[in-house]
Chain A
Amino acid sequence: MSAPEFKNGLVKWIDYRLPIFTFMHHEMHEYPTPRNLNYWWNYGSLAGIVLVVMIATGIFLAMQYTPHVDHAFNSVERIMRDVNYGWLLRYIHMNGASMFFIVVYIHIFRGLYYGSYKAPREILWLLGIVILLLMMATAFMGYVLPWGQMSFWGATVITNLFSAIPLVGESIVTWLWGGFSVDNPTLNRFFSLHYLLPFAIVGVVVLHLWALHTHGSNNPLGIDRKGPQDSIPFHPYYTVKDLFGLGLFLIFFAVFVFFVPNFFGEPDNYIPANPLSTPAHIVPEWYFLPYYAILRAITFDIWFVPAKLIGVILMFASILMLALVPWLDRSPVRSARFRPLYKQFFWVLLADCIILGWVGGNPPEGMFVIIGQLATAYYFAHFLIILPLLSKLERPRPLPDSIGEPVLKGGGAGASSAAKAQAMEKA
């Protein structure tokens, strides 16, 4: 990890005064990375790239957008019709939000599967949860800006959640709105915050990367790197692998932007906001549907606590569960590859989240109420009951000795690991 020798005189001059080139060399070129990362490890860098795309397109959209209840809708249509490539900027930005959540959800579930949240990466994980919360706030406020029917009514429903807080709820809602209903002051502050929060996300991403680089990436085996034979420099190996993944991801992204740009949207949002006419179904964007299902799952008061308040508490608690995972899961083994029971429950949890999303997209009637309640109960049971129990009951399969050693079926013992490690060093 010695300071690199730079040939360029200017680079040398700068680096002596501000060692930024040494820093870049250290964090990107030398940065030792496990040699066995699979393609599920691409989603972190993809999320970073989507964040940059969102900020870049957003800044240009903000140059043409007017945050006023009388002009917001038409200014968006002006972007679509009269601004050069405005349609492209807007379609990238609105589909980019969905792409961001797809990528981040995969990133989170990858962390859950391979135990990336376990020591010493708990703070890395918590910073990720903070990013998720900031993303959700940003996405919600961004959806309000076009001031269509779903913007207005989504904003009304979600801000009204705070009215469930006992005693001060109503006052908080008035304070959030800046008035007595969702109106121009609400739109103005949402625009201001929608512009601000992405930069807060960038700040937390820097901390997230700092924490990551302190102990390096986890890997599919979930065991620590034992020596140089287990790691490869980040550049060029993972830069090129990430770039290839980016290429595939951009194809997926482009299909939506150019051929079904309104796939993730609601037609109702092409109707200007009308406070006098409520849409038949108020549906949030797809990435909020599981939380929406949890919010609506409780249809009964418990003792003196109203159903609405319980729903709100559960919705926030559902994200809190993720934050608590490092302490709920006490198993010393990280990767699900060596945890036969956890592996099964992981897939059940994923299915449960998809069921919650499906319930959230349907009106809360008939069977959807029951399914929503069961799926909500299971979601919390996974974190509060199953994870702690598994830590005690499960017998993990034997771990391989090192990353360099190929994993044999059935977790075979590593007799030849020393020889293998030598071979790796030669490579």
Chain B
Amino acid sequence: MRRQLIAAAAAAILVLGGTATARAAGGGGEIKAHDWSFSGVFGTFDRGALQRGYQVYKEVCSSCHSMNLLYYRNLTEIGFDADSVKDIAAEYEVADGPDGEGEMFMRPAKPSDRFVAPFANEQAARASNNGALPPDLSLIVEARFDGPDYIYSVLTGYEDEAPEGVELGEGMNYNHAFPGNQIAMAPPLFEDAVEYADGTAATVEQMAEDVTTFLTWAAEPMLETRKRMGVKVILFLIVFSALLYAVKRKVWSDLH
């Protein structure tokens, strides 16, 4: 049986290896590996980073990037209490209606509303951004290879000057992490772009780390539940399989 287990493991590695080469074909710029609070089997989101990250999104990213899959109510999951979520939502206006007269009207957003997008539609977004479309950020971490490292690397990967011999397009910026190295987004973060309430120094690296943590949570809010359940499920299965193995030995003992 041991030989078969080894062979099965080898076959599994080959399958996984095949998938890994399929992903390596993605291509791109230089991605820096970073230590994340949420990586690993027992990883959880750093609550402080999540809230600071939301602040960075709100004060910096959200002027161009939507997050259409999130509701204001979701913010209670990262540690904001119900009242502050109401206050945050009320800072935005949403179209509602029709009212009794058949007219649409604007009202302050409620926790049950989706994050209000900066632009009414794709055309408006392109018109304000030199023809480029700022992507929705709800799933951006899932939608890129090595999502968190990629986002962090792009946010911290800007160069003031393009290296010699690189011709930048009109309105483009040089970024050594972005595929092709030319990115339409101007450097979004600079020292003290936000003022953190908890006194954390707002360096570019700190803000990039915080907002990446927030975006990872936004892409998969169930990450912590998933890992916590996974540890229990696998521990159970290990004990259960061991018992089954003992039963199997017992049942088969009259044959050997």
A residues sitting closer than 8 Å to B (CB atoms) are 35, 38-40, 74, 77, 80-81, 87-88, 91, 102, 106, 232, 236-237, 240-241, 243-244, 247-248, 250-252, 254-255, 257-259, 261-264, 267-268, 270-271, 280-281, 283, 286, 289, 354, 357-358, 360-363, 427
Contact = CB atoms under 8 A, between A and B. Distances in A.
Interface string B25-44: 11100000000000001000
Interface stretch (B53-61, B168-176, B195-203, B233-241): B233-241
Nearest to A232: B255
Given A244-B244, A259-B227, A267 B234 contact: no
Contacts of A427: 254-255
Nearest to A239: B251
A91 B145 CA distance: 18
Given A81-B69, A250-B237, A267 B22 contact: no
5 contacts: A39-B5, A267-B144, A280-B26, A362-B21, A362-B25
Contact of A280 (B15, B16, B27, B226): B27
B229 to A, nearest CB: 6
Given A240-B244, A247-B240, A283-B25, A39 B41 contact: no
Interface string B215-256: 000011110011101110110011011001101100110110
Contacts of B251: 236-237, 240
Contacts of B147: 267
Interface of B: 1, 4-5, 8, 11-12, 14-19, 21-22, 25-27, 41, 69, 74, 135, 138-139, 142-145, 147, 219-222, 225-227, 229-231, 233-234, 237-238, 240-241, 244-245, 247-248, 251-252, 254-255
B226 A258 contact: yes
| Nearest 8 CB-CB pairings of A with B | A258-B230, A361-B22, A247-B241, A270-B143, A270-B142, A244-B244, A357-B18, A87-B222
Contacts of A244: 241, 244-245, 247-248
Contacts, number: 128
Pick from B4, B41, B225, B234 the residue with the most CB of A within 10 Å: B234
Contacts of A354: 14, 18
Contact of B145 (A259, A267, A289): A267
Main secondary structure of the interface of B (DSSP, over half): helix
A252 B21 contact: no
A310 B74 CA distance: 53
Contacts of A237: 251-252, 255
Given A106-B8, A270-B139, A254 B255 contact: no
A286 B17 CA distance: 10
B1 A248 contact: no
A88 B227 CA distance: 11
A223 B87 CA distance: 77
B117 to A, nearest CB: 14
A54 B18 CA distance: 24
Nearest to B146: A267
A263 B23 CA distance: 10
B244 A247 contact: yes
Nearest to A361: B22
B237 A254 contact: yes
Contact of A361 (B12, B19, B231): B19
B69 A77 contact: yes
B142 A267 contact: yes
Pick from A257, A270, A358 the residue with the most CB of B within 10 Å: A270
A286 B26 CA distance: 15
Contacts of A106: 8, 11
Given A244-B244, A267-B147, A280-B26, 15 more contacts: A81-B221, A87-B226, A240-B247, A247-B241, A250-B241, A251-B238, A259-B230, A264-B19, A267-B26, A267-B142, A267-B144, A281-B25, A286-B22, A361-B22, A363-B25
Nearest to B15: A102
A384 B234 CA distance: 45
Nearest to B20: A361
Contacts of A262: 142
B42 to A, nearest CB: 11
Given A81-B221, A286-B15, A258 B227 contact: yes
Contacts of A252: 12
Contact of B41 (A38, A243, A259, A358): A259
Given A240-B251, A270-B143, A358 B229 contact: no
Contact of A267 (B27, B143, B226, B240): B143
Nearest to A243: B244
Contacts of B17: 358
Contacts of A283: 22, 25
Pick from A40, A248, A362 the residue with the most CB of B within 10 Å: A248
A35 B251 CA distance: 13
Contacts of A247: 237, 240-241, 244-245
A280 B28 CA distance: 11
Contacts of A289: 18, 22
Contacts of B5: 39
Contacts of A258: 226-227, 229-231, 233-234
B222 to A, nearest CB: 4
Contact of A286 (B19, B41, B138): B19
B120 to A, nearest CB: 17
Contacts of B19: 263-264, 286, 361
Contacts of B18: 286, 289, 354, 357-358, 361
A259 B38 CA distance: 11
A102 B8 CA distance: 11
